[in-house]
């Protein structure tokens, strides 16, 4: 297999992907955009404040991406996660994978998201529209430690 392209980043800017390049080795391309929902546990929010231990989060994201390349035979992987305040309806994460076959691309995308939530030190704190609503944070836990009702996209 050719050398794979691997890019991970954490940013405070709105997310985007580079222009698509034609790669004859990539028979499948899957993009996943995780978008902040307007409701958190049934309560309306204006957005989510994400914070991370940036060096550790980027390290864990890179390890995850490199593992995915080997596990699924990916030719390209891009993982970008946003931190800071992300308004409802905007993306907090984008995962782009390319592989020779569609089954590998779809499986890799789902596996990456599942593993990212379990291993990458990124915390989320919903900002409720009604500031008097109970909650306010995701229990101060790692994103990966959140119960399923608090998990994002």
54-64 pLDDT per residue, tens: 999 999 999 99
Q: How confident is the model at residue 130 (pLDDT cuts 50, 70, 90)?
A: confident
What's the pLDDT tens digit per position in 94-117? 999 999 999 999 999 999 999 999
Which pLDDT does position 3 carry in this prediction?
65
Residues forming beta bridges with residue 40, ordered by sequence position: 43
- Whether the CB-CB separation of 74 and 108 falls below 8 Å is answered with yes
DSSP assignment, residue 102? H
- Whether the CB-CB separation of 123 and 142 falls below 8 Å is answered with yes
pTM above 0.85, yes or no: no
Across 12-136, the runs of DSSP E, i.e. the strands, are: 28-35, 39-40, 43-52, 74-82, 84-87, 91-99, 122-128
Whole-number Å distance between alpha carbons of 110 and 52 = 22
- Coil, strand or helix: which one is 65? helix
Which pLDDT does position 137 carry in this prediction?
43
| DSSP track, 46-61 | EEEEEEE-HHHHHHHH
Residue for token pair 């990456």 = 112
The interaxial angle of helices 102-119 and 54-72, nearest 10 deg, is 150
Q: What is the dihedral of CA 53, 58, 64, 66, to 10 degrees?
A: -160
State both tokens at 64: 């995850």
Q: How confident is the model at residue 44 (pLDDT cuts 50, 70, 90)?
A: very high
């Amino acid at each position: 297999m050719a050398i794979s392209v691997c890019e991970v980043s954490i940013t405070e800017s709105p997310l985007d992907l580079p222009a698509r390049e034609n790669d004859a080795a990539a028979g499948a391309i899957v993009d996943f955009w995780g978008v902040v929902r307007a409701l958190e546990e049934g309560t309306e929010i204006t957005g989510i404040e994400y914070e991370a231990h940036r060096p550790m989060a980027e390290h864990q994201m890179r390890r995850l991406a490199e593992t995915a390349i080997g596990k699924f035979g990916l030719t390209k992987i891009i993982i970008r996660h946003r931190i800071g305040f992300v308004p409802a309806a905007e993306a907090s994460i984008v995962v782009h994978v390319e592989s020779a076959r569609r089954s590998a691309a779809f499986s890799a995308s789902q596996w990456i998201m599942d593993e990212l939530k379990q291993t990458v030190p990124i915390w989320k704190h919903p900002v409720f529209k009604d500031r008097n609503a109970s909650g306010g944070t995701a229990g101060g836990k790692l994103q990966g430690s959140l119960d399923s009702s608090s998990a994002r996209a």
